[in-house]
Amino acid sequence: MRDPGIRSVLVIGSGPIVIGQAAEFDYSGTQAVEALNEEGIRTLLVNSNPATIMTDPALSERVYLEPLTLDSVRRILERERPDGIVATVGGQMGLNLAVALSDAGVLDALGVRILGTGVAAIRRAEDREAFRALMLELREPIPRSVIVTDVQAGMTFADQVGLPLVVRPAYTLGGSGGGVARDAAALERVLSLGLEESPVHQVLLEESIAGQIEVEFEVVRDGAGQIVAVCHMENLDPMGIHTGDSIVCAPCQTLPDPVIQRLRSAAFRIVGALGVKGACNIQFGVDLNAGSYRVIEVNPRVSRSSALASKATGYPIARVAAKIAVGLRLDEIPNPITQTTTALFEPALDYVVVKVPRWPFDKFSAADRQLGTQMKSTGEVMAIERTFRAAIQKAFRSLDTDGDLVDSALEAVEEPVLWERARSADDRRLSVVMELLRRGAPLERIHRETNISRFFLAELLRIVESEAAVARAGADLDPELLRWAKREGLSDERIALATGQTEAQVRALRQRWGIRPVYKLVDTCAGEFAAVTPYYYGTYEQEDEVGPLDPPVVVVLGSGPIRIGQGIEFDACAVEAIGALRRRGVRAVMINSNPETVSTDWSRSDRLYFEPLRAEEVLEILDRERPAGVMVGVGGQTALNLARAVEAAGYPVLGTSAQVIDQAEDRGRFDALLQSIGIDRPRGVAAMTPAEAMERAGAVGYPLLVRPSYVLGGRAMRIVQDPTELLDALSAGSLGSGAILLDAYVEGAELEVDAVADGERVVVAGILQHIERAGVHSGDSIAVYPPRRLGPRIRARIVEMTRAISLGLGVRGHINIQYVLKDDRLQVIEANPRASRTIPFLEKVSGCPIVDLATQVGLGRGLAELGAPDGLWPEPPFVAVKCPVFSWSKLSIDARVGPEMQSTGEVIGIDPIYPRALKKALVAASLAPKPRAGVLVMASERQMGEAVGVARELEILGFGLYATDATHRALRAQGIRSERVPDVGEASPDAIDLVRGGRVGLIIDTRPPGEHEGRLLRRAATERRVPCLTSIDTARAMAEALDEVMEGPCLSLQEYQAGRTR
């Protein structure tokens, strides 16, 4: 029964998206809030991440967009006095915060309870020593291990047990700071890092069980002790690769029933002994030959895996966990899928689910692609099919990368190299395995070298064989063979490639021969009960289960996997668009392939198709649904790229047409438009070859911004100062084979607007001012709203230009435009006729319902009719700052901002006044140094003057300054005291030693990129979590924020929106 003593609850979100803690917690948090609302509970939410659905002010009674720190949550608790906290849906962040609040005595003092799984259980699961003791008590097998708090103890253990050893720091996200050490030197290095990473300075060293089968169980237990195993999942990649970086399938494919039951029973014993009340994830290593298993890890909260399990089965784990937290039993919670049964059951699947991670290596050519115990992927895709081999092909097609499961570039690679790469396991391993199979390598040998189970390899071999069969038929492809190939999972694209046709030809053949997919329901029960879930996947079978929806129907294209440059913001936009459609009585049909997100929660839309965002699958769905329109503007570039195919197939794109999108993306046509309406943009040319680029660069003049055309998140974008640097950029090979764009680089202030146009009116939702000057990617800049020190004349000019461009292009819906302002001259950098990543932030702080307006315009209504102002949306009486958050430490890449986007997430700071809003954002992004910490300053010659100014302010604020030679001299010349530190490698100890020694709390390093020493220093800084600012503008903002010592008011978003400022 629901605990009547719980009347109000604070839900803790997970903060910014970083590798290892991503959109899955928006999904779980949103579910939890909705589940609590259903129980009539007054729900409060705290999260510093504005790009989420859970922070939608319509969802919770009060949304606090505040830093997830002990101090700020304490203030909220003191003000709101809720009866309880739900901390298990906010990832490791939420869990750690709950423990910290408990330790600080805040909860006891305020009489606030942790609901669901309690602090004692969290501690027992999370604390390595306590967990190990519990496992020994339960006689559950665990890898031999030792917990160390210093390097020496670890080295001694290695002498006893031998190497390799796995290093796992306690209380960290996504295994950060951990790794496998194969030799003593590596062990020493990984150990000292791991100790540093762990907030409790504790590391688990354990026997390596690399090569075993990694299995996960998602378990839910209620307060009465009733337990269900919602899902079990098997990693295709054996133990040794982080499960977040592994290809995972559900249910387990290669484990006999007694093995599954043994693990399930072990999971139940462990979860029971811990006293979990809610969701729990348990990982096992399984050795089928030895008939043994090891318990690897327990996470007493919802997780990335539980989100995947929810989508894989249809069982809403976070929702059920939230209900349990307020006292309900599993058998008291209705199963929303069947509506006749309860949550006390275990889903049966009649399909195979495959998840494939999405890695950011296409953006970071310098990153180490080796996979191990530290997670590196930013997102994932999931695919559902009736066989493993069909599902994995579908999953790879969903990744939205240039690559595929079959990578033709590998055809040129020598076999010994392939074997080496198969063994060493980077992100492309499966394609390497496919290539080996294509060359006829023995399956048994691949199994031996990779430890990938024979079943999976046999399935991959079937893919190779089916491709070969289709290729043999070539032009003689007949209906029977084509139907068989589709059932095997081959895409039209692969069949086209194998038979020398175009994808459109294969599609036409299928249509002629009536070979079309059917859609089957995901119903949690394998058809045993009637279900009402509107959740479908496509496959080639006998019976279709999709009935017609009442018109009008609109299909919304999602954005696919989370990646740098196309993150959770687009999911937020898509979900909002769905809501906007449904509110107007339009059936909203969602297509997406990302299991982490809210948009793929089947209860969000009238119908969800879990399918790749590829022309083949999208067009098939459109042919089934016959929608009145398709929304391509809220799913990022992925959805936008499908606009042409959708229109060509005869389906109207709602709002802005494909032709307009083309015009905005086609440089020549866009330039012509700007010229015709008298708007400036930095001079630029397009070159088809590197030689042409070198030749035409001079005419534009340096510095230059170089990039490939059709970019996403500034991929492969660089600023070059002279011909030598240009040559270097051109020969780096990252520019692709298409046109190369060369633009004059204007080092001015960057401004960005989001607007909605209807062909007559243009409402500018807001102007965002970037702190960093142009040259730092807009997604990596700190943005301020409303803009500061921007005169009415410039504002008016921005609105006017936005109007001219929107109307000139013929935009009907979203548009995002970036401007650069220098010496009072406003120029356009780029315009994107789609929803942008700033919309969720801007909507919340401006109050302008951007997505709703754009959606209604798409449905044919005018802005005037909707009551939207023509021009700038009124600005609020407070300031909001959006600050990027990076995952540099996970990827071992240079922590330096530039024209290419690198951030994975964002946080917000809101306050009535700017410096405090800025400070909040910096604190939420973990950038602010502790008071009186050391600051290491290294400035470029060009910006020395500005750096001296920043240093002076920091000195006044009481920070101790360190500087390398040139900067030290410049500071001394201005009478600023600093300690001179030898630059990297100059002498010993040098700047790196200083950082490693823990004496530096902030680094300001604005020296030019490309210096080896700078990279090493920044690497050391990220490893130690020392914030490193590489733009002088960020540093200046930091100094200004740190100057603010007064605390602002503690207010919810709703209160800010209502105009309250104190």
Partner 1 sequence: MAGGALYLEDGSVYAGSLAGAGQAVEGEVVFCTAMAGYSEALSDPSYAGQILVFTYPQIGNYGVRPEHLESGRFWARALVVRELSPMGPDDLGERCRREGVTVLTGVDTRALTRRLRQGGTAWGRIDRHEAPVGPPQPLSRWVERVVAAAAPPAPSEQGRRVTVVDFGRKGSILTILKRAGARVRVVPAAVDLDALLEDGTEGVVVSNGPGDPMDLDRFAPGIRRIAERLPTLGICLGHQLLGIAFGAKTRPLLFGHHGVNHPVRDLGTGLSYLTTHNHGYAVAPESLPPELVVTHEDLHDGTIEGIAVRGRRAWGVQFHPEAGPGPWDAHGILERFVAELGS
Of 13, 240, 251, 336, the residue at the interface with partner 1 (CB under 8 A) is 251
Are 161 and 237 within 8 A, CB to CB?
no
Of 253, 940, 1057, 1061, the residue at the interface with partner 1 (CB under 8 A) is 253
Please tell me the distance from the alpha carbon of residue 663 to that of residue 667, in angstroms, as a whole number: 8
Residue 31 Cα distances to 9, 35, 38, 89, 558, angstroms = 14, 6, 11, 9, 19
Q: How far is the CB of 351 from partner 1 (least distance, A)?
A: 6
Question: Binding of partner 1 at residue 345 (CB under 8 A)?
Answer: yes
Q: How far is the CB of 208 from partner 1 (least distance, A)?
A: 25
Q: How far is the CB of 16 from partner 1 (least distance, A)?
A: 37
Are 165 and 181 within 8 A, CB to CB?
yes
Which distant-in-sequence residues (6+ apart) come within 8 Å of 440 by Cβ?
A: none
Of 330, 720, 762, 1003, the residue at the interface with partner 1 (CB under 8 A) is 330
Strand order of the β-sheet with 8-12 is: 62-64, 42-46, 8-12, 84-86, 113-114
Q: Which two tokens mark 851?
A: 């997505």
Q: Which two tokens mark 100?
A: 């910290």
Question: Binding of partner 1 at residue 387 (CB under 8 A)?
Answer: yes
Element (H, E) at 512: helix 503-513
Question: Binding of partner 1 at residue 256 (CB under 8 A)?
Answer: yes
| 315 or 364: CB nearest partner 1 | 315
Q: Binding string, 538-557, against partner 1, x = CB under 8 A? A: ---xxx-x------------
With 0-12 / 13-18 / 19 or more C-beta atoms within 10 angstroms meaning exposed / middle / buried, residue 1044 is middle
Q: How far is the CB of 349 from partner 1 (least distance, A)?
A: 6
The label of the residue with tokens 């909001």 reads: 880
Question: Binding of partner 1 at residue 342 (CB under 8 A)?
Answer: yes
Name 521's bridge partners.
536
Please tell me the distance from the alpha carbon of residue 550 to that of residue 582, in angstroms, as a whole number: 12
Question: Binding of partner 1 at residue 268 (CB under 8 A)?
Answer: yes
Which distant-in-sequence residues (6+ apart) come within 8 Å of 689 by Cβ?
A: none
Which distant-in-sequence residues (6+ apart) come within 8 Å of 665 by Cβ?
A: 709, 710
Element (H, E) at 607: strand 607-610
Q: How far is the CB of 896 from partner 1 (least distance, A)?
A: 48
| 232 or 614: CB nearest partner 1 | 232
Q: Which two tokens mark 248?
A: 């995972």
SS3 of residue 693 by DSSP: helix
Name 587's bridge partners.
553
Q: Which residues of 114-123 are buried (b: 16+ CB within 10 A; e: fewer)?
A: bbbbbbebbb
Count how many Cα atoms sit within 13 Å of the Cα of residue 135 in the half-sphere of its side chain.
Answer: 23
Q: How far is the CB of 306 from partner 1 (least distance, A)?
A: 18
Q: How far is the CB of 856 from partner 1 (least distance, A)?
A: 39
Of 341, 892, 940, 943, the residue at the interface with partner 1 (CB under 8 A) is 341
Question: Which part of the chain contacts partner 1 (CB under 8 A), choosing from 261-269, 705-713, 740-748, 911-919?
Answer: 261-269
Q: How far is the CB of 620 from partner 1 (least distance, A)?
A: 18
Q: Which residues of 670-706 are buried (b: 16+ CB within 10 A; e: fewer)?
A: beebbeeeebebbebbbbeeeeebeeebeebebbbbb
Of 520, 707, 837, 916, the residue at the interface with partner 1 (CB under 8 A) is 520
| 194 or 223: CB nearest partner 1 | 223
Q: How far is the CB of 761 from partner 1 (least distance, A)?
A: 50
Which distant-in-sequence residues (6+ apart) come within 8 Å of 937 by Cβ?
A: 947, 950, 951, 961, 962, 963, 967, 971, 978, 1004
Site size for partner 1, by CB under 8 A? 51
| 160 or 289: CB nearest partner 1 | 289
Are 946 and 1036 within 8 A, CB to CB?
yes
Question: Binding of partner 1 at residue 527 (CB under 8 A)?
Answer: yes
Residue 11 Cα distances to 14, 58, 89, 97, angstroms = 10, 15, 8, 12
Of 525, 661, 749, 805, the residue at the interface with partner 1 (CB under 8 A) is 525
Of 40, 258, 514, 585, the residue at the interface with partner 1 (CB under 8 A) is 258
Of 68, 170, 252, 801, the residue at the interface with partner 1 (CB under 8 A) is 252
Q: How far is the CB of 515 from partner 1 (least distance, A)?
A: 15
Question: Binding of partner 1 at residue 350 (CB under 8 A)?
Answer: yes
Q: How far is the CB of 262 from partner 1 (least distance, A)?
A: 8
Q: Binding string, 843-862, against partner 1, x = CB under 8 A? A: --------------------
Of 359, 388, 537, 886, the residue at the interface with partner 1 (CB under 8 A) is 388
Question: Binding of partner 1 at residue 289 (CB under 8 A)?
Answer: no
CA angle, 571 as apex, 566 and 573 as ends, to 5°?
A: 105
Question: Binding of partner 1 at residue 151 (CB under 8 A)?
Answer: no
Q: How far is the CB of 133 from partner 1 (least distance, A)?
A: 25
Q: Binding string, 678-707, against partner 1, x = CB under 8 A? A: ------------------------------
| 458 or 1050: CB nearest partner 1 | 458
Question: Binding of partner 1 at residue 255 (CB under 8 A)?
Answer: yes
SS3 of residue 166 by DSSP: strand
Q: Binding string, 426-465, against partner 1, x = CB under 8 A? A: ----------------------------xx--x-------
Of 133, 508, 526, 532, the residue at the interface with partner 1 (CB under 8 A) is 526
Question: Binding of partner 1 at residue 1 (CB under 8 A)?
Answer: no
Question: Binding of partner 1 at residue 675 (CB under 8 A)?
Answer: no
Of 171, 513, 529, 710, the residue at the interface with partner 1 (CB under 8 A) is 529
| 387 or 943: CB nearest partner 1 | 387
| 545 or 760: CB nearest partner 1 | 545
With 0-12 / 13-18 / 19 or more C-beta atoms within 10 angstroms meaning exposed / middle / buried, residue 366 is exposed
Question: Which part of the chain contacts partner 1 (CB under 8 A), choosing from 50-58, 84-92, 338-346, 1017-1025?
Answer: 338-346
Q: Binding string, 199-238, against partner 1, x = CB under 8 A? A: -------------------------xxxxxx---------
Q: How far is the CB of 258 from partner 1 (least distance, A)?
A: 7
Please tell me the distance from the alpha carbon of residue 841 to that of residue 850, in angstroms, as a whole number: 11
Q: How far is the CB of 514 from partner 1 (least distance, A)?
A: 15
Please tell me the distance from the alpha carbon of residue 619 to that of residue 642, in angstroms, as a whole number: 10
| 17 or 255: CB nearest partner 1 | 255
Q: Which two tokens mark 362?
A: 């296409």
SS3 of residue 509 by DSSP: helix
Question: Binding of partner 1 at residue 1008 (CB under 8 A)?
Answer: no
Are 50 and 844 within 8 A, CB to CB?
yes
Q: How far is the CB of 425 from partner 1 (least distance, A)?
A: 23
The label of the residue with tokens 């500087």 reads: 963
Are 974 and 948 within 8 A, CB to CB?
yes
Please tell me the distance from the alpha carbon of residue 129 to that of residue 148, in angstroms, as a whole number: 10
Question: Binding of partner 1 at residue 396 (CB under 8 A)?
Answer: no
Q: How far is the CB of 249 from partner 1 (least distance, A)?
A: 10
Which distant-in-sequence residues (6+ apart) come within 8 Å of 550 by Cβ?
A: 587
Q: Which residues here bind partner 1, judged by CB under 8 A?
A: 224-229, 251-258, 260-261, 264-265, 268, 330-331, 340-342, 344-352, 386-388, 454-455, 458, 487, 520, 525-530, 541-543, 545
